[in-house]
Amino acid sequence: MAAPSAAGLGRRLRAWLPRIMPVRWSRYNPSYLEPEVKKESYQKPLEELTEEEREQVELKAVRPIRAAPPTLSSSVFSDPMISKFTNMMMKSGNKVLARSLMSQTLEAIKRKQLEKYHKAPENEKETIECNPYVIFHQALKNCQPIIGLSNITKGGKTYQVPIPLTDNRKRFLAMKWLITECRDNKHRRTMMPEKLSQELLLAFNNEGPVIKRKHVLHKMAEANRAYAHFRWW
Amino acid sequence: QLDRGCALHTAARGGLSSVSTQDVPAERPRAVFHTSESDPAKHTEQHEGRLYNIPLEEVKAVFPHGLPYRFQQQIQTFNEARVMVRRPALELLAYLKGSNLAHPAVRYVIYGERGTGKTMTLCHVVHYCSRQGWLVLHIPDAHLWVKNCKELLQSSYNKHRLDQPLQASVWLKNFKTSNERFLQEIKTQKKYMWGKRESTEEGRPLGEVVEQGLARVRSASDAVGVVLREVKQQSHRGSFRLLVAVDGVNALWGQTTLRKEDKSPVSPEELTLVHNLRKMVRNDWSGGAIVTTLSQTGSLFKPSSAYTPHELLGKEGFDALDPFVPIPVANYSPREFESCYGYYLERKWLQHEKARTEDGKAELQFLSGSNPRQLDRLAGPL
């Protein structure tokens, strides 16, 4: 669409609504630019920048900037997967509680692994992984299914058809399975960090109920191989 | 005359002999922030900012209660107990070393903002005193005595007071673990009646009073009162030196959340334990010292920004504790921060790969504001 003129920019910035309203929309005028959070991009001196980057910097001097969402962090310790998992654990918008549960989980994993590490003999010490982030990422990777099932109705009957999954869908399914497993199948008095750390350590070693659920899904897909041609995309 | 050696449980003495006070050839190269000086009596300014080790048997003997929960978890994870030597603790130790025990007991009040290390300073002083052979009366948290009490009994000694059997028996059990040898050596000076049939004669060792309190839980609070009274009366003789260490002393003069059966609120002086402890904290006895800590964290009806003695103690408490020596505890200095950060790295507590970089360190310092508790909480998940 045509960019608004420089003179009309000030007047037309507020009270701007597009003609069509999509479902997830933002009321920002498209002239608002995204915020830049990485520290490295501001530490480069002006001479080292390329032509496009210099134009970008000059554009940022005149254009307004959108507000940064609270999940966007400039911390060196921030991890997008951990943030996504925290958001999925969150209930009724209580991000403070979800984040504290996540940090308690990571601390619990670290404590368990460090105790094992200090008690192990010298030759086994290298095999024990103590970094909770590495364990978290590996456990999620182990839980991701390769192939999924979808309901396709043909001739009045619904069939479970094996379909390929996108990366996002795989990550989502792994996280969802972990969280539902921790919420449902535990003793009433166990705390979430304790149960989650237990499940993550089991998944890291390719054991546990979540891995079993993934294998069950794979077996169903293998069994329904015959219906694979029902998929048309 | 009592033996002025170390007042530690006999089992711990075996462990002590392996810990020498000179520089031991270490198995691993000692870093700058460690010190092998594990006797608090020898800590000086050159040890400031360094961490010293307390052997685990000694920890079990000297601190059956009293260490903060996060520190206990840290001891279990790292398999060692390392306490940082900081300036307020060194100041307090210097005062204690130079104090004249013939004069009335001096009161020291450790105060500071939340999470700056007041309880750990108190624990350092308790460790020093138990190494020097003092009798240590350590009340880990006075706030636990004024809230969340499941059982309140009317006291048989004084009808207007209320007993707390559970808290008293827990304290008596821990007191017994930390001061075994004094219980045989101190004798009672009066006959005490526990109800109609049981009594403790004059001249019996104090251990019997403690056993009585543990066996008959109903009279545990009175047993605590008897122990405090005996110890206070006999301290001026000079056979032993007494340290009264109270954490969260502002609980004694605040309000309680307890209620009597007719739902009327209980004020602190109506509780036997609090009443006896208040008598202990008065400076009308000699032969020891009283070291106390203010604490907002467990306190009742006090705003979270309050940390000074006047705000937390109130008028009544301030007048009762006046005159005292105030000892402020602040956040980590840059050197102490480096020391703590280096210790976490060495013990593999900071596992995140970015935590080892300069950026990560600067971020930790900024986010925690050099506050020890915040640093500990931030370093947990990293």
| B78 with A130: Cβ contact below 8 A | no
The more confidently predicted of residues B36 and A165 is A165
Measured between beta carbons, the chain A residues lying within 8 angstroms of B77 are: 111, 114-115
Phi, psi of B13, rounded to the nearest 5 degrees? -65, -30
Q: Which residues of A37-73 are buried (b: 16+ CB within 10 A; e: fewer)?
A: eeeeeeeeeeeeeeeeeeeeeeeeeeeeeeeeeeeee
**Contact by Cβ (8 Å): B119, B247:** yes
Chain A: residues touching B (Cβ < 8 Å):
39, 75-77, 102-104, 106-107, 110-111, 114-115, 117-118, 130-133
The alpha carbon dihedral of B338, B340, B342, B348 has a sign of negative
Which among B258, B246, B180, B201 is positioned nearest to B11, based on CA atoms?
B180
| B73 with A115: Cβ contact below 8 A | no
How many angstroms away from the CA of B363 is the closest CA of chain A? 8
Tell me how many residue pairs between chain A and chain B have CB atoms under 8 A apart: 47
Residues 6+ positions from B273 with CB-CB distance below 8 Å = B145, B164, B167, B168, B221, B224, B225
ipTM of this predicted structure? 0.84
Q: Note the maximum CA span of chain A.
A: 74
Write down the mean pLDDT value for chain A: 89
The predicted-structure confidence for B120-158, as pLDDT tens digits, reads as follows 999 999 999 999 999 999 999 999 999 888 888 888 888
> Does the structural domain A80-230 have CATH classification 3.30.2320.80?
no
| A77 with B360: Cβ contact below 8 A | yes
Phi, psi of A148, rounded to the nearest 5 degrees? -120, 180
Q: Are strands B162-163 and B153-154 parallel, antiparallel or unpaired?
A: antiparallel
Residues 6+ positions from B305 with CB-CB distance below 8 Å = none
DSSP single-letter state for residue A68: P
| B348 with A117: Cβ contact below 8 A | yes
| A130 with B348: Cβ contact below 8 A | yes
At A2, the pLDDT band (50, 70, 90 cuts) reads: very low
The more confidently predicted of residues A27 and B19 is A27
**B217-to-B64, B79, B162, B211 alpha-carbon distances in Å:** 20, 35, 14, 10
At B238, the pLDDT band (50, 70, 90 cuts) reads: confident
Joined tokens for residue B115: 């999470």
Is it the case that residue B13 has pLDDT exceeding 90? Answer: no
The predicted-structure confidence for A48-96, as pLDDT tens digits, reads as follows 778 888 888 889 899 999 999 888 998 999 999 999 999 999 999 999 9
Q: Which of B348, B353, B354 sits opposite A114 (nearest CB)?
A: B348
The pLDDT of residue A15 is 59
The mean per-residue pLDDT over the stretch B199-203 comes to 85
The predicted-structure confidence for B275-299, as pLDDT tens digits, reads as follows 999 999 988 898 899 999 999 998 8
Which residue(s) pair with A160 in the sheet? Answer: A151
Joined tokens for residue B7: 């007042």
Joined tokens for residue B138: 């350590």
Is it the case that residue A8 has pLDDT exceeding 90? Answer: no
Phi, psi of B139, rounded to the nearest 5 degrees? -100, 110
The mean per-residue pLDDT over the stretch B357-374 comes to 94
Amino acid at A27: R
The pLDDT of residue A12 is 57
Other CB atoms within 10 Å distance of the CB of residue A111: 19
- CA trace torsion B277, B282, B288, B292 (10° rounding): 60
Task: Say what angle helices A192-204 and A95-119 make with each other, to 10 degrees.
Answer: 50
Amino acid at A179: I
Instruction: Give the whole-angstrom CA distance, residue B205 versus residue A18.
Output: 89
DSSP single-letter state for residue A13: S
The predicted-structure confidence for A89-107, as pLDDT tens digits, reads as follows 999 999 999 999 999 999 9
The predicted-structure confidence for A37-48, as pLDDT tens digits, reads as follows 988 888 888 777
Residue-range domain boundaries for chain A: 80-230
The alpha carbon dihedral of B61, B65, B68, B73 has a sign of positive
At B19, the pLDDT band (50, 70, 90 cuts) reads: very low
3-state secondary structure B321-366: HCCCEEEEECCCCHHHHHHHHHHHHHCCCCCCHHHHCHHHHHHHHH
**B308-to-B112, B200, B316 alpha-carbon distances in Å:** 7, 43, 15
At B27, the pLDDT band (50, 70, 90 cuts) reads: very low
The pLDDT of residue A158 is 94
The pLDDT of residue A16 is 64
**Contact by Cβ (8 Å): B247, B141:** yes
Joined tokens for residue B16: 């002590």
Give the SS3 label for residue A220: helix
Instruction: Give the whole-angstrom CA distance, residue B273 versus residue B165.
Output: 10
At B67, the pLDDT band (50, 70, 90 cuts) reads: very high
| B380 with A130: Cβ contact below 8 A | no
The mean per-residue pLDDT over the stretch A169-192 comes to 94
Amino acid at B317: G
Residues 6+ positions from B197 with CB-CB distance below 8 Å = none
Give the up-direction half-sphere exposure of residue A221: CA atoms within 13 A in the CB hemisphere.
16
